[in-house]
Amino acid sequence: VTCSVQAHDVWGESGNPVALSLNTSSVALSRAKLLEEPVACCYLCSLQDGTVIMDPSPKQVEDSLAELLYAGTRTEVVMMECSSPTDKIPEDTLAKLMKVAHSALGPIFGVQDELISAVEEEDDKDDRMLRQDLGLPPLDENDEEGASL
Protein backbone atom coordinates (compact mmCIF):
# COMPACT_ATOMS: atom_id res chain seq x y z
CA VAL A 1 0.00 0.00 0.00
CA THR A 2 1.28 3.43 -0.88
CA CYS A 3 -0.10 6.45 0.98
CA SER A 4 0.15 9.71 -0.87
CA VAL A 5 -1.38 13.03 0.03
CA GLN A 6 -2.28 14.79 -3.21
CA ALA A 7 -3.69 17.97 -1.72
CA HIS A 8 -4.87 19.39 1.57
CA ASP A 9 -6.32 22.72 2.51
CA VAL A 10 -5.53 22.80 6.19
CA TRP A 11 -2.86 21.23 8.31
CA GLY A 12 -3.74 22.23 11.79
CA GLU A 13 -5.19 20.54 14.81
CA SER A 14 -5.99 17.41 12.80
CA GLY A 15 -2.31 16.59 12.40
CA ASN A 16 0.16 16.00 9.62
CA PRO A 17 -1.67 14.80 6.49
CA VAL A 18 0.93 12.14 5.62
CA ALA A 19 0.77 10.66 9.13
CA LEU A 20 -3.03 10.74 9.01
CA SER A 21 -3.11 8.94 5.66
CA LEU A 22 -0.90 6.12 6.93
CA ASN A 23 -2.79 5.80 10.23
CA THR A 24 -6.19 5.64 8.54
CA SER A 25 -4.92 3.21 5.89
CA SER A 26 -3.76 0.87 8.64
CA VAL A 27 -7.25 0.96 10.18
CA ALA A 28 -8.91 0.42 6.79
CA LEU A 29 -6.73 -2.60 5.97
CA SER A 30 -7.37 -4.10 9.41
CA ARG A 31 -11.07 -3.38 9.08
CA ALA A 32 -11.15 -5.16 5.71
CA LYS A 33 -9.57 -8.18 7.44
CA LEU A 34 -6.49 -7.89 5.26
CA LEU A 35 -4.41 -7.53 8.43
CA GLU A 36 -4.79 -9.21 11.81
CA GLU A 37 -4.12 -5.94 13.61
CA PRO A 38 -3.03 -2.43 12.74
CA VAL A 39 0.42 -2.77 11.23
CA ALA A 40 1.83 0.70 11.53
CA CYS A 41 1.32 4.15 12.87
CA CYS A 42 2.98 7.35 11.80
CA TYR A 43 3.93 10.44 13.77
CA LEU A 44 5.67 13.75 13.07
CA CYS A 45 7.93 15.52 15.53
CA SER A 46 10.47 18.29 15.22
CA LEU A 47 13.31 19.76 17.22
CA GLN A 48 13.35 23.45 18.01
CA ASP A 49 15.85 25.06 20.39
CA GLY A 50 16.69 21.66 21.91
CA THR A 51 13.04 20.81 22.61
CA VAL A 52 11.15 18.05 20.85
CA ILE A 53 7.82 19.34 19.56
CA MET A 54 5.15 16.69 19.23
CA ASP A 55 2.85 16.98 16.21
CA PRO A 56 4.26 20.39 15.20
CA SER A 57 2.39 22.97 13.16
CA PRO A 58 3.71 23.86 9.69
CA LYS A 59 5.26 27.04 11.13
CA GLN A 60 7.01 25.05 13.88
CA VAL A 61 8.36 22.61 11.27
CA GLU A 62 9.61 25.52 9.18
CA ASP A 63 11.46 26.98 12.17
CA SER A 64 12.87 23.69 13.44
CA LEU A 65 16.41 22.35 13.46
CA ALA A 66 15.15 18.89 12.43
CA GLU A 67 11.90 17.23 11.41
CA LEU A 68 11.22 13.50 11.72
CA LEU A 69 8.34 11.66 10.09
CA TYR A 70 8.40 8.28 11.80
CA ALA A 71 6.37 5.12 11.16
CA GLY A 72 6.56 1.98 13.21
CA THR A 73 4.87 -1.13 14.46
CA ARG A 74 4.25 -1.62 18.15
CA THR A 75 7.87 -2.77 18.49
CA GLU A 76 9.85 -1.88 15.36
CA VAL A 77 10.77 1.01 13.08
CA VAL A 78 9.14 0.75 9.64
CA MET A 79 10.11 4.04 7.98
CA MET A 80 11.75 7.35 8.82
CA GLU A 81 12.15 10.57 6.90
CA CYS A 82 14.34 13.12 8.59
CA SER A 83 15.20 16.51 7.25
CA SER A 84 17.09 19.51 8.48
CA PRO A 85 17.96 22.89 6.96
CA THR A 86 21.61 22.13 7.64
CA ASP A 87 21.41 18.47 6.52
CA LYS A 88 23.64 17.70 9.50
CA ILE A 89 21.78 16.13 12.38
CA PRO A 90 23.88 14.73 15.24
CA GLU A 91 23.27 11.03 15.87
CA ASP A 92 22.18 11.61 19.48
CA THR A 93 19.62 14.18 18.30
CA LEU A 94 18.18 11.75 15.78
CA ALA A 95 18.04 9.02 18.44
CA LYS A 96 16.17 11.39 20.77
CA LEU A 97 13.63 12.23 18.05
CA MET A 98 13.16 8.54 17.21
CA LYS A 99 12.56 7.60 20.84
CA VAL A 100 9.98 10.35 21.34
CA ALA A 101 8.24 9.55 18.05
CA HIS A 102 8.05 5.83 18.82
CA SER A 103 6.60 6.50 22.27
CA ALA A 104 3.88 8.61 20.61
CA LEU A 105 2.68 5.59 18.58
CA GLY A 106 1.17 3.80 21.60
CA PRO A 107 -1.86 6.09 21.95
CA ILE A 108 -2.40 6.04 18.17
CA PHE A 109 -2.46 2.22 18.20
CA GLY A 110 -4.96 2.44 21.06
CA VAL A 111 -7.31 4.60 18.98
CA GLN A 112 -6.89 2.31 15.98
CA ASP A 113 -7.76 -0.73 18.13
CA GLU A 114 -10.88 1.03 19.45
CA LEU A 115 -12.02 1.99 15.94
CA ILE A 116 -11.56 -1.53 14.62
CA SER A 117 -13.36 -3.12 17.60
CA ALA A 118 -16.29 -0.71 17.38
CA VAL A 119 -16.76 -1.37 13.68
CA GLU A 120 -16.46 -5.16 14.08
CA GLU A 121 -19.18 -5.19 16.76
CA GLU A 122 -21.44 -3.10 14.52
CA ASP A 123 -20.76 -5.39 11.54
CA ASP A 124 -21.80 -8.47 13.53
CA LYS A 125 -25.06 -6.74 14.43
CA ASP A 126 -25.62 -5.65 10.80
CA ASP A 127 -24.99 -9.22 9.54
CA ARG A 128 -27.57 -10.66 11.95
CA MET A 129 -30.15 -8.05 10.95
CA LEU A 130 -29.51 -8.58 7.22
CA ARG A 131 -29.86 -12.37 7.57
CA GLN A 132 -33.16 -11.81 9.38
CA ASP A 133 -34.41 -9.34 6.72
CA LEU A 134 -33.52 -11.83 3.97
CA GLY A 135 -35.31 -14.64 5.78
CA LEU A 136 -32.08 -16.60 6.25
CA PRO A 137 -31.55 -18.71 9.35
CA PRO A 138 -29.12 -17.33 11.92
CA LEU A 139 -25.60 -18.70 11.73
CA ASP A 140 -24.52 -21.11 14.41
CA GLU A 141 -22.02 -19.19 16.55
CA ASN A 142 -19.72 -22.22 16.44
CA ASP A 143 -19.86 -22.38 12.63
CA GLU A 144 -16.42 -21.17 11.58
CA GLU A 145 -17.26 -21.62 7.89
CA GLY A 146 -20.35 -19.40 7.92
CA ALA A 147 -19.76 -16.51 5.57
CA SER A 148 -20.40 -12.94 6.66
CA LEU A 149 -22.85 -11.04 4.50
What is the chain's pLDDT, residue by residue, as a tens digit (149 residues)?
677 777 666 565 667 888 888 888 888 888 777 877 667 888 899 998 888 998 888 888 888 888 999 999 888 898 999 888 777 888 888 898 899 999 999 998 898 888 888 776 666 666 677 777 777 787 766 554 445 44
Of 100, 110, 105, 103, the closest CA to residue 41 belongs to: 105
Q: From CA 12, how far away is CA 42, in angstroms rounded?
A: 16
- Model-level pTM greater than 0.85? no
